[in-house]
Amino acid sequence: MIKFPGIRRFSKMLAISMLAVAPSISHAAQAPSRVGTFTLGNGLQVVVIPDHRAPVVTHMVWYKVGGADEPKGVSGIAHFLEHLMFKSTEKIPVGEFSKIVAKLGGQDNAFTGHDATAYFQRVSKDKLPTMMEMEADRMVNLRLTEKEVLTERNVILEERRSRVENNPAAILNEQMDAALYLSHPYGIPIIGWEHEIAKLSREDALNYYKFFYAPNNAIVIISGDVTVEEVRPLAEATYGKLVANPAVGATRVRPQEPPPRAARRVALEDPRAGKASLHRDYIAPSYVTATPGEAEALDLMGKILAEGATSRLYKKLVVEDKVASSAGGSYEGSGLDSGKISLYAIAADGVDLGKVEASMDAAIAEIRANGVTDAELQRSKNSNIAAYTYESDNQMTLARRYGWSLSLGRSIEQIENWPDAIAKVSAEDVKKAAARYLDVRGSVTGTLTPSEAAVQAQAPAKTRS
């Protein structure tokens, strides 16, 4: 499945449910598309996903811009603007946006990724017109004072300190990404580098906002108790009044990675590290950049190799070799320009990380050389299709699924045909993907270990004879 971005390594927005769903049955034939879409005159795409079980709707606005689109030296401005969008317009006083949503009985939030930024509310159906009016207002009428910007900048700096600087694993993750991507901005953290955040200004925020936040660079997703016929006049009356920005909305052009030539290594010592751990990331294609069937093969390979206690990695390192207390990983295929295969292992007590790495390398070499069994492949297909099926029962999850993929340029047909594409993957496809992309030359290996002083402090005291 496509994974959504988050600050925690290996975390997933959506739980994987284990239900056997026969992949030989066409998902498209079982569930015809219920999704409707139309485009306003100013270029805004509106997508409607009806779900009439309760009088509730999820309203999401997706902007096709994220951390990887920032000007060089201005890292964190995409995430910073996400925070500032909750300030004020001429119609909405400072800090009142979320309060209004709450008073209407709803919930709201936002998130920033490398490739997209999204804002959402979950409200009763009768409050949808108000949500659309409020989002349309702040799409073009954001008002920022110098004081608001400086105050929020301090909030972001504190967020970075709490989420990154106080978390050795997050520090290692940043350093590994910076080493993995030699040219592409995926190597820059979404939250930004601290020294660059500290210099972000009101002018930086407004320049970014005025260029990227426009109806022709956005997608509105509405899932829940609505129909296209109900949404269209509401969209015309709110978003339809906005003027497009002809300078934005074209294909995004970013620096691309050179061919990988050498494996890279990052070592971090930190007294807060706890148990020593080993991490390995490989650059891989995403669902956008892969050849047909390749991302699906990587998805299935990632589950077989690294997801859960039945994975190859867990069984090899934890159960058989007993060099790790935990091991896992995933394939992350949600990027516009590339994806990533991430693996990790936490060393067992008293085990050197060299032994952990040797065991991990052996598991990787095995799947590259011999591929996977038909039984493993079938279980992985069943699990992935089951997860897709269960997620289709949640209107928030559906809004995220369609919003994220459409903001990357994928089509509704590609989103809905994913189970069929997964079902078509062969064991040979998985073997080829593993052999090609589990190539150490396109990887970075990271180690996280407690400092020597911390190790000695944790060691049991010797008793005198």
Q: Which residues are catalytic?
A: 82
- Going by C-alpha positions, the residue among 82, 286, 281 that lies closest to residue 191 is 82
SS3 for 142? Answer: coil
Residues 6+ apart with CB under 8 A from 18: 383, 386
Q: Backbone phi, then psi, for 445, in 5-degree steps?
A: -110, 130
Q: How far apart are CA 145 and CA 74, in angstroms?
A: 19
The per-residue DSSP string of 334-398 comes to --SS-EEEEEEEEEPTT--HHHHHHHHHHHHHHHHHH---HHHHHHHHHHHHHHHHHHTT-HHHH
H helix or E strand, kind and range, residue 125: none
Residues 6+ apart with CB under 8 A from 282: 340, 341, 342, 437, 438, 439, 442, 443
Q: Kindly give the interhelix angle for 353-370 and 427-437, rounded to the nearest 10 degrees.
A: 140
Q: How far apart are CA 227 and CA 202, in angstroms?
A: 40
According to DSSP, the residues that pair with 56 across neighbouring strands are 124
- Tokens representing 451 are 């400092």
Q: How many residues does the chain have?
A: 465
Q: How far apart are CA 164 and CA 181, in angstroms?
A: 19
